[in-house]
Structure 1
Amino acid sequence: MPAPRAAIERGVARAWAAVERFAFAPASAAPLAVLRIGLASVLLVQAGMVAPALFELYGRSGILQTPLLDAHGGPGFVRLGWLIDRLATLGIGEGPIIVAVGASYVLALAALLAGWHTRVAAAGAWFSHLMLMMTADSTNYGVDQFANIFLFYLMWMPAGAALSLDRRLGRAPVGPTSSARLALRVVQIHLCIVYLTGGLGKALGEQWWNGDAIWRTLNLPDYRQYDFTWLARYPWLAVVAGWTVLFIECGYPLMIWPRRTRRLWVAATVALHVGIAVFMGLSVFGAIMAVLTISAFAVRANPPESMLSETDAPRGEGATSAPQELHGPARHHGVRLAPGTRG
């Protein structure tokens, strides 16, 4: 075999091995469990905030009357109006249907929080959340889109394999799995794309460079929580704040992966969303975005050291030994941990 061809094949083999280590090396389901618990908790709080205005938001005699509600609702049949029209032939009124969908949503979130029949609970929460979103489409904003996307992800992820009733009842896989690693990578890459596109979108305009976006955000009636008119005397503070937001968001996909900068970027990102919650009043949005970054990058994904034999334990960042064989419960699943894999 010609030497160049052999070199190419070795390079391809090494590249594929790196892809396998990155995407499929067995990982703990703990980050996915934190995502499940955090997302369900925040959405339950949001549901409690929305409950007093349930009929005003989703009823046909609420803030938007029937024609407007239907006109401004999302496209497709996944809407309360469609369900109300179909069940009206059975003599079921609008009120019980709205209450039933709302109750189903809350019960599904509670089951998701506890990790009881996790995938079914995620599917129920996702579908009922989608139906409510499509019904009152004009009231949606970014947090609703993110919540629905990650509820959909949880339908397919092994998020019930840790910190759950499913795990306690023996319905979830024991030990690290390749599916948990792949699911975690999906979440991580999704967040990197979101922050990069968001940061670049802001950077294309002047408002975030000259501080105008910060000024408007803090002083517009829709978001104003405190009196920040004093910023007019210190415009450089708004400029620094705008640059900081650009730095955090554009740097997210570069700085969140290396171990040396990961904790700093997680802390900076969480601080950014705490600021959004406090100074803009978008508490649900800030909480959900913080949960996403913490679960994806701050929770250990590698198997605990107790699952490795003392002789097979990783020997440091530069370890290049053969794959370590897991002991204990994971051994019965034939799981092996690729060397040098990091969460």
Structure 2
Amino acid sequence: MKARTTSGARGAVLRFFFAPAEATPLAALRIGVAAVLLGQAALVAPAFFALYDRAGFLQGPLQDEFAKPGLPHLGWLVALLGREGAPDAPILAGIAALYVLSLVALLVGLRARFAAAVAWLLHTILMMTGSATNYGADVFANIFLFYLMWMPSGDALSIDRRISRRPRGPTWSARFGLRVVQIHLCIVYLTSGIAKASGRGWWNGAAMWEALTMPDFRVFDFSWLARHAWIAVLAGWTVLLWELGYAAFVWPRRTRRLWVLMTAAMHLGILIFMGLYVFGAIMIVLTTSAFAVRAEPVRMAEGGDRPQAAVR
């Protein structure tokens, strides 16, 4: 009996991580991350040279000082590609163009893994150069670009899929890639919820008040919250419930849709009320692609040609 139970548990674990799945969620992740980063690139473009040229806001040695030590950054790449005394602008323009082209290729799924590798490398270099200005959106984008280098996200909704000479069905690698994304998100939200719950700010509403009224992030006037403190307290409790419950309630079918909608609503609120457009957008992409896009393969119904969802 014990051997049978152990064998059954092992089979369940193997099915959870390796049962063949469609690559559609990974394709949604690929498209969403690429679209958000293209939007970020459009926002940064007017100030790109002022931010990254060694004759811009940060002069050459100062830019090197702010870069992450021991890691590749734009100053290192410009020195590698350029000549002594040559202007940085043409090299920076080429790097920016290559970054945008890699994101476009990732968006449409053209050599998806290679495009993800190029985008990840250039995104890393940009992050290491402007490390003082990095925040959550940059970190998450970099992590999931790295994942996309190894995942079969080009097996669905892509040019790669359309020009492939052999059909691609459900694969174990698509399932494993999806599980990596899902488990990563669960760990992120659980640890974030535990960190918030460990202090008093999210229980008494102070953290919500600070988030909405800090000068750096204030988009609307929320001074009226001082007269209705219970709203800030309720909002703080809701955030704690959402983050602490994410890892448990985003998996079951009965609660998954609610938690996906709650996650999208929370990050939409961050996007609108704090002006963190890239962060809000990329976090919505991550949860919706991981938990709201169907990964289960379909099979032909017996005795007919109508597709039928496979039993999960």
1:123-138 aligned within 5 A: 123-138=117-132
1:149-188 aligned within 5 A: 149-170=143-164, 174-188=168-182
How many Å separate the matches in 2 of 1:30 and 1:164? 10
1:211-230 aligned within 5 A: 211-230=205-224
Paired residue for 1:95, among 78, 89, 99? 89
How many Å separate the matches in 2 of 1:236 and 1:171? 61
Q: Secondary structure at the match of 1:156?
A: coil
Paired residue for 2:302, among 302, 306, 310? 310
Q: Is the 8 A contact 1:28 1:303 kept in 2?
A: yes
Q: TM-score, normalised by structure 2?
A: 0.95
1:54 aligns with 2:63: no
Distance verdict in 2 for CA 1:281–1:192, change over 3 Å? same
In the alignment, residue 267 of structure 2 is paired with which amino acid?
H
1:111 matched residue in structure 2: 105
2:18 matched residue in structure 1: 24
Q: What do you get for the CA RMSD once the two structures are aligned?
A: 2.0
Q: CA deviation at 1:94?
A: 1.1
1:197 aligns with 2:184: no
Q: Is the 8 A contact 2:34 2:107 kept in 1?
A: yes
In the alignment, residue 310 of structure 1 is paired with which amino acid?
E
In the alignment, residue 163 of structure 2 is paired with which amino acid?
L
How many Å separate the matches in 1 of 2:235 and 2:165? 48
Q: CA deviation at 1:173?
A: 5.4
1:318 matched residue in structure 2: none
How many Å separate the matches in 1 of 2:71 and 2:184? 28
In the alignment, residue 57 of structure 2 is paired with which amino acid?
I
Paired residue for 1:289, among 283, 287, 300? 283
1:300-339 aligned within 5 A: 300-304=294-298, 307-310=299-302
Q: CA deviation at 1:250?
A: 0.6
Q: TM-score, normalised by structure 1?
A: 0.87
Q: Is the 8 A contact 2:34 2:103 kept in 1?
A: yes
Stretch moving more, 39-48 or 55-64: 55-64
Paired residue for 1:207, among 185, 194, 201? 201
Stretch moving more, 188-197 or 59-68: 59-68
How many Å separate the matches in 1 of 2:257 and 2:144? 23
Q: Is the 8 A contact 1:26 1:177 kept in 2?
A: yes
1:244 aligns with 2:245: no
Which consecutive residues of structure 2, in runs of 5 or more, have no partner in the other structure? none
Q: CA deviation at 1:340?
A: 4.7
Deviation string for 1:157-210 (max 9, x for gaps)? 000000000000016751111100000000000000000001111111111111
How many Å separate the matches in 1 of 2:121 and 2:82? 21
In the alignment, residue 308 of structure 1 is paired with which amino acid?
M
In the alignment, residue 173 of structure 2 is paired with which amino acid?
S
Paired residue for 2:269, among 275, 283, 287? 275
How many Å separate the matches in 2 of 1:19 and 1:83? 45
Deviation string for 1:34-65 (max 9, x for gaps)? 00011100100100000111112111122222
Q: Secondary structure at the match of 2:117?
A: helix
How many Å separate the matches in 2 of 1:139 and 1:31? 31
Distance verdict in 2 for CA 1:173–1:20, change over 3 Å? farther
1:84 matched residue in structure 2: 78
In the alignment, residue 170 of structure 1 is paired with which amino acid?
S
How many Å separate the matches in 1 of 2:169 and 2:130? 42
Distance verdict in 2 for CA 1:104–1:224, change over 3 Å? same
Q: CA deviation at 1:8?
A: 2.6
- Count of aligned residue pairs for this structure pair: 311
2:36 matched residue in structure 1: 42
Q: CA deviation at 1:76?
A: 2.4
Q: Is the 8 A contact 2:82 2:91 kept in 1?
A: no
Q: CA deviation at 1:72?
A: 1.1
Q: Which runs of 4+ in 1 moved over 6 A?
A: none
Which consecutive residues of structure 1, in runs of 5 or more, have no partner in the other structure? 1-6, 314-325, 328-336
How many Å separate the matches in 2 of 1:276 and 1:173? 41
In the alignment, residue 24 of structure 1 is paired with which amino acid?
F
Deviation string for 1:262-292 (max 9, x for gaps)? 0000000000000000000001100000000
Q: CA deviation at 1:93?
A: 2.9
How many Å separate the matches in 2 of 1:58 and 1:10? 61
Q: Secondary structure at the match of 1:237?
A: helix
